[in-house]
C-alpha cells in the first residue's frame, strides 16, 4: 500500500501519537527506527503497520520480516510523511504503529523469587527508559510504573529502552494499590536511602524483592515510604553526593543479578 499525502486521514492519526492523550485514546504508540522495529518484530509485539520511506524501500534489515502470514501491514510513504510522524531531528526511514498491551499485575506476583523494579514518580523519560533497559539486562521479571512517572510510550522513553520495552512486562497503576498486593504475596519492598544501615552489597537479593526507585529530586513519596520494608544504601568512595535514579537502579539490579547467579 502507498500513501503520498501528508493530509491522509491515517497519517493524521499516526502524527497524533506523538501526544500522550492521543496514545491513550487510540491505545497505540509509535516506534521509530530500524532497531526498534526489528526488536518489536522479534518479540512478537502487536504491530498494526510498518511505515517506510518509499524512495528508499524496505530497509534490508527488515526485509526478512515481510511475511504475508503476519497480520502486519507494510505501507510505503513519502519523506514528508515520515517527518510529520516522528519527533527526531533526523527522521529514520521507518516507523511502526504498535497496539498497547495490558499486562496483568498477577503475572508479576506469580513467581516466588521475582525481582521487580518499581518507579515512584520518576519523571525523566531518559531515566525511565534506561531503567527498563537495565531491568531487562539484569534479568528482572518486570517493571512497575506508578502514577506521575514519565509516559513509557513517550518516544524519548521508548528510544532509551533500546527495545527492552518489548522484552519484559511493564505494569502501570497506583502504587497505593499495587504495593500492598505485593507485600501480601510475601514480597520485600526495598528503597535506597543515604542514611540506611544496610549496604546494597550485604542485602539479600535472592528473595522476592521489589526495588523502589523514587523521584529524581524528592525520592520516594511519603505514602510509598510507609510501605517499604528495608532501606539500603549504595556505598560511595568519591565526593559525589548521590547517583541519579537510573544509575542507582542499575547498580542495585546488577548486584541482585550477581547474587542470584552465585
The pLDDT tens digits for 231-244 are: 999 999 999 888 89
Structural domain ending residue among the three candidates 67, 99, 131: 99
Structural domain ending residue among the three candidates 62, 81, 99: 99
Q: Which residue, 243, 126, 259, 261, is CA-closest to 205? A: 259
**Structural contact between residues 190 and 209, judged by C-beta atoms closer than 8 angstroms:** yes
Count of domains for the chain: 2
Residue 4 lies in a domain: no
Q: Percent helix, strand and coil across the chain, each rounded to 5?
A: 35, 20, 40
Residue 224 lies in a domain: yes
Strand partners, 212: 118, 191
User: In this predicted model, what pLDDT tens digit does every residue of 56-84 receive, in sequence order?
Assistant: 999 989 987 766 556 889 999 999 999 99
pTM: 0.92
How many residues are present in the chain?
Answer: 262
Structural domain ending residue among the three candidates 99, 127, 150: 99
Assign 40 to helix, strand or coil: helix
Q: Indicate the pLDDT class of residue 87, thresholds 50, 70 and 90.
A: confident
Residue 253 lies in a domain: yes
200 and 142, same domain (yes or no)? yes
**Separation between Cα atoms, residue 131 and residue 244, nearest integer Å:** 11
Amino acid at each position: 500500500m502507498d500513501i503520498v499525502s501528508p493530509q491522509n486521514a491515517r497519517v493524521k492519526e499516526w502524527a497524533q501519537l506523538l501526544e500522550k492523550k492521543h496514545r491513550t485514546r487510540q491505545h497505540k504508540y509509535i516506534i521509530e527506527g530500524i532497531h526498534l522495529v526489528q526488536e518489536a518484530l522479534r518479540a512478537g509485539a502487536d504491530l498494526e503497520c510498518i511505515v517506510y520511506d518509499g524512495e528508499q524501500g524496505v530497509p534490508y534489515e527488515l526485509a526478512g520480516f515481510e511475511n504475508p502470514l503476519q497480520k502486519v501491514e507494510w505501507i510505503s510513504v513519502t519523506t514528508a510523511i515520515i517527518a510529520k510522524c516522528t519527533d527526531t531531528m533526523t527522521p529514520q526511514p521507518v516507523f511502526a504503529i504498535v497496539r498497547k498491551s495490558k499486562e496483568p499485575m498477577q503475572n508479576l506476583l506469580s513467581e516466588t523469587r521475582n525481582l521487580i523494579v518499581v518507579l515512584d514518580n520518576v519523571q525523566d523519560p531518559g531515566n525511565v527508559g534506561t531503567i527498563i533497559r537495565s531491568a531487562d539486562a539484569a534479568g528482572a521479571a518486570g517493571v512497575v510504573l506508578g502514577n506521575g512517572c514519565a509516559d513509557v510510550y513517550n518516544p524519548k522513553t521508548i528510544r532509551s529502552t533500546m527495545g527492552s520495552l518489548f522484552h519484559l512486562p511493564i505494569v502501570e497503576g497506583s502504587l497505593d494499590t499495587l504495593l500492598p498486593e505485593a507485600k501480601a504475596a510475601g514480597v520485600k519492598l526495598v528503597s535506597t536511602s543515604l542514611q540506611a544501615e544496610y549496604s546494597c552489597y550485604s542485602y539479600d537479593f535472592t528473595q522476592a524483592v521489589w526495588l523502589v526507585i523514587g523521584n529524581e529530586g524528592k525520592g520516594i513519596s511519603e505514602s510509598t515510604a510507609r510501605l517499604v520494608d528495608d532501606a539500603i544504601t549504595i556505598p560511595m568512595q568519591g565526593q559525589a553526593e548521590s547517583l541519579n535514579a537510573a544509575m542507582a537502579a542499575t547498580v542495585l539490579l546488577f548486584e541482585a543479578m550477581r547474587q542470584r547467579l552465585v
